[in-house]
A and B are shown apart, each in its own frame.
Chain A
């Protein structure tokens, strides 16, 4: 299974502009993406979507990351599953 990772517009701004999150967090999410995708559950509030959150640790910093996947955007020709990083909250 291929998991196609993408980031919400605002998460991208936080990574690329404000530098609020360390680049190592993207790498860590990338490493865990298949496992994260498999752990997603159907979202009762959003038709056709799977969602779930996971705490990801990078060094001494911990981040609560909300993920979602839209079943309508699965590429059946390559079996590529989309995985979107929706919101990231740093846990203090």
Chain B
């Protein structure tokens, strides 16, 4: 069974104890895998079928923990008024806008214009200083 890299790009939180296994490997090594999970409840096997993740093997205690956590989330959501739930869904969708797409909004365009203006001013200042230094050097030379 292949040991996963400490951090996979798609996981925001490093999963040190994640291992990959294909169905054939796992079938042959199921008992040792279960024994390893018993010793280390943080260990999980991501089972691949045709190279794609299909299922996860984890300890029953870990599953119970995930179940409790998920049920808490579901209860919190169920008690939320519909209008708040809709607004939350729109907020999450809006939050997925990338920096490139934000350039379309007038607010973002204004921000970019301000930055360009500031950089132009800074460049002009630098140019002025360089010219002044060049003149001073020429005077010293004379």
By a beta-carbon cutoff of 8 Å, the part of chain A in contact with chain B is: 8-10, 13-14, 17-18, 46-49, 66, 68, 70, 72-73, 84, 86-87, 89
B124 adjacent to chain A (CB < 8 Å): no
| CB-based nearest B residue for A84 | B93
Interface of chain A, helix or strand or loop or mixed?
Answer: mixed
Docked-complex contact A72 and B97, CB < 8 angstroms: yes
Inter-subunit contact B94/A46 (CB<8 Å): yes
Q: Which residues of A contact B113 (CB under 8 A)?
A: none
Q: How many contacts A-B (CB < 8 Å)?
A: 53
Indicate whether A70 sits within 8 Å of B89 (C-beta atoms), given known contacts A18-B74, A87-B82: no
Min distance, Cβ B98 to any Cβ of chain A, angstroms: 8
Can you identify 28 A-B contacts, CB atoms within 8 angstroms? A8-B89, A8-B92, A8-B93, A10-B77, A10-B85, A10-B88, A10-B89, A13-B73, A13-B74, A14-B74, A17-B70, A47-B105, A49-B93, A49-B94, A66-B86, A66-B89, A68-B89, A68-B93, A70-B97, A72-B97, A72-B102, A73-B96, A73-B98, A73-B101, A84-B93, A86-B89, A86-B93, A89-B82
B contact residues around A66 at 8 Å (CB): 86, 89
